[in-house]
Amino acid sequence: MATSDLTINQFGTASGAKSTGSKTVTKNTPTTDEAKTQSATKGLGDNFQTFLTMLTTQMKNQDPLKPMDTNDMTKQLVEFANVEQNIGTNSRLDKLLKLQGSSTASTNLAYLNRTVAFKGEAFQYAQGMTQAPLAYELDTAAKSVRVDIQDAQGRTVRSMVGETAAGTKHLVNWDFKDDSGNAVQPGAYKINVAPTSAQKDATIKATTYTFGTVSGIGNDKNGETVLSINSAEVPLSSITTVY
């Protein structure tokens, strides 16, 4: 995409003026719960046929002087009926959830071509960008924090001193330059946060937040909505900001 095709929105993020070929992915593959319900229904049918065959054979060969206990037979039939009813209820619930998912998918179309921030580390730098909405959060306070920007080969192109407080999201202001002050080339990058604890050998967990443009919408095997961002599938629950 040529530089003239890029526009900078009010958040300082570059976006293309033309279509990016975004798409909504619709998967008809049964979810895990649907597959379990289908398997249970088939299993019940097979078992019920086997039960009827055995019951019929037993009735044909029963001793006329010692007939079968009808109460026990009725109890087994009732148990089969209850299981069948429960499976039928689950099947109808699966259909309702699928309808709800379709409605949610229509709502999620609003994410297409939007820039979003989410939990992650990789991002794409495009020519013309003036700001990258990067951030991180520490689970406990640190003695010092080093924030590295790495290229696609894992080489550190820029190291910065970060904030050390815990319980708050710290913004990372990167000007798309390396440690020597030279502008870097557009491409794939990632943010890496290395906190140091005041206590020897203690480990501090750092959660990083990155950004990207939504190019597709779909569902994973569990039916959860995922967004296609930077050639990766990101759960909708990981999205923190929509620009």
Cα torsion angle, 234, 16, 191, 136, sign:
negative
pLDDT at 230: 83
pLDDT at 1: 43
pTM: 0.58
Separation CA 204–CA 212 (nearest Å): 26
Of 154, 153, 171, the residue nearest 162 (C-alpha): 171
**Helical axes 70-108 vs 32-60, angle rounded to 10°:** 160
Which residue numbers in the chain have pLDDT < 70? 1-49, 51-52, 54-55, 58-59, 63, 67-74, 76-78, 80-81, 83-84, 87-88, 90-105
Separation CA 30–CA 25 (nearest Å): 15
Burial of 74 (0-12, 13-18, 19+ CB in 10 A): exposed
pLDDT at 79: 73
